[in-house]
Amino acid sequence: MIVLGIETSCDETSAAVLEDGRLLSNVIYSQIDTHRIYGGVVPEIAAREHMARLPAVVDEAMKKAHVTFSELHGVAVTNRPGLAGGLIVGVSYAKALCSALDIKLIGVDHLEAHMLSPFLENEAFKFPFLGLVISGGHTNVYLAEDFGAYKLLGSTRDDAAGEAFDKVAKMLGLPYPGGPSISKAALSGDPQKIVFPQPQMKDSSFDFSFSGIKTSVLYYLQRNEEKLKSGEVTKEDVAAAFQKALSRSISNKMRRIFAAHPVASVAITGGVAANAFLRSEIEKVAAEKHIGVYVPSMLLCTDNAGMVAYAGYEHLRRGTTSGMDMEIATASEM
């Protein structure tokens, strides 16, 4: 079974070809250079870029996979959640292809695609597992019991983790996207110099909260201008302390989740999973419970159509395909 995957929900235009669960190609055109000057993704510009780039990106993915359109069994496309304009471009393109080729259309939830991405690289990865999806728009943790059987255990009450990285980077004058900038800056900073407080949740839920840490960074910068000017404290120190505080808040929550839901593995997925410090913090608490940690390779952590093609393939195998009246949604249903 050969599936073409399409991803246009944010600022990556991507297409991938997958045969029987194995990726043949995964082409990603990142729009980061276009959006950088604005300090973030401009939805209207993103949609126009997707429109301009998608046909060539699809052609390249097909060529790299040595597959012709007539060999496709279905087209999997992210139809939720994301920026409406980009989603419409991807979904319209997918519908046109499916109708011209008379093949199946599969609408994919971007979060499900992230969460299942370890299946693309690890034969040992199996259900049930705990799925952490940490991206620019979401910070959700699921108990994934089987394909399609996902229980949301906790999510963020304010900013997504990636959003907090992006906002703090902006405060520090570091370039967009903030996650990679902060992790790079943190490498030469001292994480012990400043201690940002951990979020105090008043209940015992598994929800996350990052806006408090973000605000603490803002206040710190406002109150310590002199120290920063004199070099007593550097931007790199602030980046390292922020990264540590945010990572600890996630790993502390994961420790409680591991205790409540003793499964054999945890998947750390989404763009923020590219953060090595955060990963190592979660790995430490997972090791306490002998839980295996699965993290996709860098390319499969951030947005890509390979993960969309995989989730679509699993749906197609089960016959859960979409009609031509499939709509887009800006929010996830997971």
CB of 293 to ligand KG4, least distance (A): 16
Residue 179: contacted member of Zn ion, ligand KG4, none (CB under 5 to 8 Å, by partner type): ligand KG4
**How many C-beta neighbours within 10 Å does residue 164 have?**
30
CB of 270 to ligand KG4, least distance (A): 4
Binding flag, residue 79, ligand KG4 (CB under 6 A): no
Measured CA to CA in angstroms, residue 84 lies from 31, 121, 139, 187, 328 at distances of 16, 30, 20, 36, 7
| In contact, 116 and 292? CB cutoff 8 Å | no
CB of 296 to ligand KG4, least distance (A): 11
Q: Which is nearer to ligand KG4, 154 or 179 (CB)?
A: 179
328: helix, strand or coil: coil
| In contact, 38 and 11? CB cutoff 8 Å | no
253: helix, strand or coil: helix
| Residues in 254-293 that interact with ligand KG4 by CB under 6 A | 270-272, 274-275
Binding flag, residue 303, ligand KG4 (CB under 6 A): yes
Helix, strand, coil shares, percent, the chain, to 5 = 50, 20, 30
Cis amide linkage into residue 296, ω under 30° from 0: no
Residue 272: contacted member of Zn ion, ligand KG4, none (CB under 5 to 8 Å, by partner type): ligand KG4
Q: Which is nearer to ligand KG4, 178 or 212 (CB)?
A: 178
Tell which one of 74, 137, 212, 312 touches ligand KG4 (CB under 6 A): 137
Q: Which two tokens stand for residue 314?
A: 């699993």
Tell which one of 86, 131, 177, 199 touches ligand KG4 (CB under 6 A): 177
Binding flag, residue 136, ligand KG4 (CB under 6 A): yes
Residue 165: contacted member of Zn ion, ligand KG4, none (CB under 5 to 8 Å, by partner type): ligand KG4
- Comparing C-alpha atoms, which of 115, 267, 276 is closest to residue 180? 276
| Residues in 1-60 that interact with ligand KG4 by CB under 6 A | 10
- Comparing C-alpha atoms, which of 274, 304, 297 is closest to residue 27? 304
CB of 199 to Zn ion, least distance (A): 23
Interface residues with Zn ion (CB under 5 A)?
Answer: 135, 303
